[in-house]
Structure 1
Amino acid sequence: MIIDLPKNVENIIGSLEEHGFEGFAVGGCVRDSLLKKTPKDWDITTDALPVDMKKIFKKTFDTGIAHGTVTVLMDGVGYELTTYRIDGNYSDGRHPDSVSFSKSLSEDLCRRDFTINAMAYSHKKGIVDLFDGRKDLQNGIIRAVGDAKKRFDEDALRMLRAVRFAAQLGFKIDDDTFEAIKEKAKLLSNVSKERIFVELNKSLNGEFAQNIKMVYTSGLYRYIGKEFAKLNKNIYDFYPRKFPNKKHMYWAAFLENIENAEAVKKILFELKSDNATRNNTYLLVKELKNPLPSSDEDIRWSLHRIGADLFCDYIEILKSDKKNVDILDKIDTIENRYSLILKENHAYEISMLDITGKDLMDIGISKGPKIGEVLEFLLKKVIENPLNNEKSSLLRLAKEFI
């Protein structure tokens, strides 16, 4: 079978071969090509040493020289070239204690995580598949290369990567590999929360995101974090959602049925998520626990709580929820009313009031906390009735309040 390599990748491999070395596209790019997917990155493996690569190619960067990796720049795009290698022991559960460069492609492929990621390709040699990766691709199987327990001892994150590939590709995890995950699950507690968060994001965003349940059935959930481990089993009754690439929407849909919305912040803080994802997920989950807006005033209060951007995300989550199939007309009505509210410029934030703190001081209200208290009162009156958002009406209401 011929894989359609990008021109730059062809040129890199061709240049290596012209200088007496081997060169192969390797890993995920070969897997994705065989699945008729467009690879995001093209990694190349070679028997050339970094010093050789730097002689062959004009523009290079030392991106992982100790592990034999050099980035070659072509037409403004970086391509990682890595020397065949044999990894030593993994005492930290992530990085090999030592790396030995090799002249053998087979020795390099032996160290990779799963059979579907352990294939190499060049036009000259075709597909090099030592572990039946193509067969596993055809059968939809995620299988560790060699001894699964050893692979997970080397890098415990590989267990969560297996779940992620299941969520992205819809594959089944091989029985022996899954048993090894269950046995080695505790090792995940040694993996950084940042790396775990990345894998969970990719799983929730997957086309077959229902396979996130493997985090529970494998026991991995116990070692993701203390707060995450408290999630009820029903949380994992998740299914794929067609959202834009917004992490907070996937997390909100995943955690929607959590008993206490406050736990959302604890879980995402523990996973060291970015602040925006943590805060937006919390606000959405909290809003999803409220009854559906049944009036324009309800919609304005919702806008006050979460803002216009998150309100749009809130609507999309409602639409995507299978249990809401019988109330889609109601959700469409809410969305239409929301659009009209924005068009008519209804106020739902203090900054949208037709009055300022200075206006309040001009009628004798003292500068300080009292100003904020009055503005909050006025906003409440405007959310209840948008016609109140006129300066003279607001001044009258302010005088009545004080």
Structure 2
Amino acid sequence: MGREQATRIIEILEKAGFPAYFVGGCVRDTLLGREPEDWDIASAARPEQVMALFGADALPTGCKHGTVTVKSGGEAFEVTTFRTDGRYSDGRHPDQVTFAGSIREDLARRDFTINAMAMEKGGRILDLYGGISDLKGETIRCVRNARIRFEEDALRILRALRFAATLGFAIEPSTADAIHREARLLERVAAERILAEMNKLLCGKGCREILLAYPDVLGVFLPELLPCVGFDQRNIHHCYDLYTHTVLSVDSVAAEPVLRWTMLLHDIGKVNTFTEDERGQMHFYGHPKVSAAMAEDICTRLRMRKKDREDIVTLIAWHDRDIPVTEKGIGSAVRALGEENFRRLLAVKRADNRAQAPEYRWVCQKVDRAEEILEELLRKKQCLCLKDLAVNGNDLLALGYEGREIGAALEWLLEGVIAGEMDNKRDALLAALAKKNLLLP
């Protein structure tokens, strides 16, 4: 549907005498056989001409940079004037945007060859920089001079890694060399832009290869990772250095941002907590707590949303905790974490173990058993959290409980039900409370 509506916009532009093309990611994705998320259009029409042509369906969302948003068939499409970019003094935005006279000039300013193609409404491709060849060769390559492209917009350094990770492509040597050389330019980039790219990179199918090859780049905005590179853990549980273990654990967990960030940061406190025993074995007592505190600083620095930050910090704090594989042990953990985060914790423990020495993979069996017990508890409709209790705050209010007394009483009841000491029935719970009150001094 998106292409059909966008094609109507191109037809209107062309009928008015303005050449127009599909550009950027939609061309790339079409050639890859994927459904594009957006259908972006580049045209010879200036913003004021686009506004006049489409009237009430046109919104001046970025006229300064030549962009007008046009509504068609209930969808919105960006129409941008052919342009060339001037100097980028801040490494983020062009000092001046100059409107160009042709699509060829417009394509010359783009970041990578696979994004520097244009497509006519009928499907004919304009490929000036070998984008089709690089798609076939699964290659990320800058348009013309890589160093200049990165100096123009430093985020392109991270975008190159992101595209390589999400598409599973290789970065060609001269582009890779420029990435390493110009990595410090990322210091100019806003945290929100870095986070958006990292979320996609970490969830990419080629994430492992990129993380292993470019720790220096990540270290520009995640300096806490750099001491992990090459750090020999010298521990019977580990056969990889700390950074390699970290990357392998990232690759071993589901491609979901909270889980991937958790694995990337779960052991960053080890370098600060290691001790060595008389046999030369290293130990990392207290590293989950230290790692969690460091992760909270990182997530805050990257402007991560509060819920994600809290979940990541909690999972890291719990990742090395021994949970009794019993109904009581699992019930208590679910009560503390909630079902969603408990399931995530099991995934974290499994991924952590898969990235350790093979002879210790039996831990995964323990995780599997914990998962089985959770399913058994859910199948039996076992009370696992306050909302499952047969009584609530209103019941306790009616008995004369006030304020914090209500929460404390409900928690006490929940502990009793999880431990199997009380039946989760209203009368039984109220009787237990009454008995407790009689015993109080």
Q: What interval of TM-score do these two structures reach, taking the shorter chain for normalisation?
A: 0.7 to 0.9
Aligned partner of 2:82 among 81, 84, 99: 84
Match of 2:273 in 1: none
Could you give the per-residue CA deviations for residues 343-394 of structure 1, whole angstroms, max 9, x where no partner exists?
44444445655566798899999x6767766655554444333536532234
Post-superposition offset of 1:326:
5.5
Q: TM-score, normalised by structure 2?
A: 0.80
Q: Structure 1 residues 48, 294: closer, same or farther in 2, change over 3 A?
A: same
Match of 1:200 in 2: 198
Cα-Cα RMSD: 3.1
Post-superposition offset of 1:252:
2.2
Work out the CA distance in 2 between the residues paired with 1:327 and 1:341: 21
Post-superposition offset of 1:309:
2.2
Percent of residue pairs identical? 36
The question of whether the paired residues in 1 share the 8 Å contact of 2:353 and 2:363 is answered with no
Match of 1:25 in 2: 22
| Correspondence list, 1:160-171, <5 A | 160-171=158-169
Work out the CA distance in 1 between the residues paired with 2:156 and 2:326: 49
The question of whether the paired residues in 2 share the 8 Å contact of 1:163 and 1:215 is answered with no
Post-superposition offset of 1:327:
6.0
Post-superposition offset of 1:116:
0.8
Corresponding residue pairs, total: 396
Post-superposition offset of 1:399:
4.6
Give yes or no for the alignment of 1:130 onto 2:128: yes
Work out the CA distance in 1 between the residues paired with 2:439 and 2:396: 12
Specify the SS of the correspondent of 1:385: coil
Specify the SS of the correspondent of 2:177: helix
Specify the SS of the correspondent of 2:111: coil
Work out the CA distance in 2 between the residues paired with 1:313 and 1:45: 43
Aligned partner of 1:247 among 229, 248, 257: 257
Partner AA of 2:60 in structure 1:
D
Give yes or no for the alignment of 1:38 onto 2:73: no
Match of 2:302 in 1: 271
Specify the SS of the correspondent of 2:77: strand
Partner AA of 1:221 in structure 2:
L
Range with bigger deviation, 381-390 or 51-60:
381-390
Aligned partner of 2:432 among 373, 393, 399: 393
| Correspondence list, 1:3-402, <5 A | 6-58=3-55, 59-123=57-121, 126-213=124-211, 216-217=214-215, 219-227=216-224, 233-234=243-244, 235-238=246-249, 240=251, 243=254, 246-259=256-269, 260-317=291-348, 323=354, 330-350=366-386, 352-353=388-389, 376-387=411-422, 389=424, 390-391=428-429, 392-397=431-436, 399-400=438-439
Partner AA of 1:291 in structure 2:
D
Specify the SS of the correspondent of 2:125: strand
Gaps of 5+ in 1: none
Work out the CA distance in 1 between the residues paired with 2:52 and 2:395: 72
Specify the SS of the correspondent of 1:131: coil
Work out the CA distance in 2 between the residues paired with 1:66 and 1:129: 27
The question of whether the paired residues in 1 share the 8 Å contact of 2:417 and 2:423 is answered with yes
Work out the CA distance in 2 between the residues paired with 1:91 and 1:238: 39
Q: Structure 1 residues 329, 238: closer, same or farther in 2, change over 3 A?
A: closer
Post-superposition offset of 1:313:
3.0
Work out the CA distance in 1 between the residues paired with 2:32 and 2:338: 41
The question of whether the paired residues in 1 share the 8 Å contact of 2:61 and 2:67 is answered with yes
Post-superposition offset of 1:166:
1.0
Q: Structure 1 residues 34, 343: closer, same or farther in 2, change over 3 A?
A: same
Partner AA of 2:51 in structure 1:
K
Partner AA of 1:131 in structure 2:
Y
Q: Structure 1 residues 358, 35: closer, same or farther in 2, change over 3 A?
A: closer
Post-superposition offset of 1:117:
0.6
Work out the CA distance in 2 between the residues paired with 1:363 and 1:7: 65
Partner AA of 1:12 in structure 2:
I
Match of 2:276 in 1: none
Post-superposition offset of 1:96:
0.7
The question of whether the paired residues in 2 share the 8 Å contact of 1:115 and 1:136 is answered with yes
The question of whether the paired residues in 1 share the 8 Å contact of 2:51 and 2:60 is answered with no
Post-superposition offset of 1:221:
1.9
Work out the CA distance in 2 between the residues paired with 1:395 and 1:351: 21
Q: Structure 1 residues 33, 322: closer, same or farther in 2, change over 3 A?
A: farther
Range with bigger deviation, 28-37 or 336-345:
336-345
Work out the CA distance in 2 between the residues paired with 1:269 and 1:173: 31
Gaps of 5+ in 2: 230-242, 270-290, 356-360
Post-superposition offset of 1:91:
1.1
Could you give the per-residue CA deviations for residues 273-326 of structure 1, whole angstroms, max 9, x where no partner exists?
000111112222333322354101111111122112222333455566772975
Work out the CA distance in 1 between the residues paired with 2:18 and 2:392: 73
